[in-house]
């Protein structure tokens, strides 16, 4: 009988909703891959040294779209994500195809994840790295007794 791996029970295999590569001159010839599923955004980059970053969708605070003239010519654009993630507070999905659709899909998924997890936007701002004068500004520091 084959021995089962104990880690397998903790691994979720979500369906990949979108996948694309960073493009040069409109061609997917880079080693940076962007992927997202219902819960997470993954960024994998590198050839000799590969790094993979994972961001929970409900931690995305703001989504914006940027298209330069060169990007418009080659049919690509960049989606910029401001997150509450400490390791990557600003993430840019550079030179991706159909950036308008990706931005709209991410926006919908982020709202859905926040609703499911019952996370409000105001709960995220303290974790976005915007400390007030370097202090840990919490409700406990407003004790007026």
Q: How far is CA 20 from the centre of its chain?
A: 14
Q: What is the pLDDT of residues 67-118, one digit of tens each?
A: 999 999 999 999 999 999 888 899 999 999 999 999 999 999 999 999 998 8
CA 26 vs CA 67, 91, 99, 103: distances in Å: 13, 20, 13, 18
Helix, strand, coil tally for the chain in percent (to 5): 30, 35, 35
pLDDT computed for residue 122 by the predictor: 57
């Amino acid at each position: 009988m084959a021995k089962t791996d104990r880690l397998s029970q903790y691994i979720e295999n979500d369906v990949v909703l979108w996948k694309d590569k960073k493009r040069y001159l409109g061609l997917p010839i880079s080693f940076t891959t962007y992927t997202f599923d219902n819960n997470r955004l993954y960024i994998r980059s590198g050839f000799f040294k590969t790094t993979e970053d994972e961001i929970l969708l409900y931690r995305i605070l703001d989504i914006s779209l940027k298209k330069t003239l060169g990007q418009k010519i080659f049919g690509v654009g960049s989606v910029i994500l401001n997150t509450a993630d400490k390791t990557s507070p600003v993430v840019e999905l550079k030179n991706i195809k159909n950036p308008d659709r990706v931005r709209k899909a991410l926006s919908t998924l982020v709202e859905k994840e926040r609703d499911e997890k019952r996370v409000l936007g105001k709960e995220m701002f303290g974790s976005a790295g915007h400390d007030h004068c370097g202090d840990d500004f919490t409700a406990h520091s407003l004790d007026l007794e």
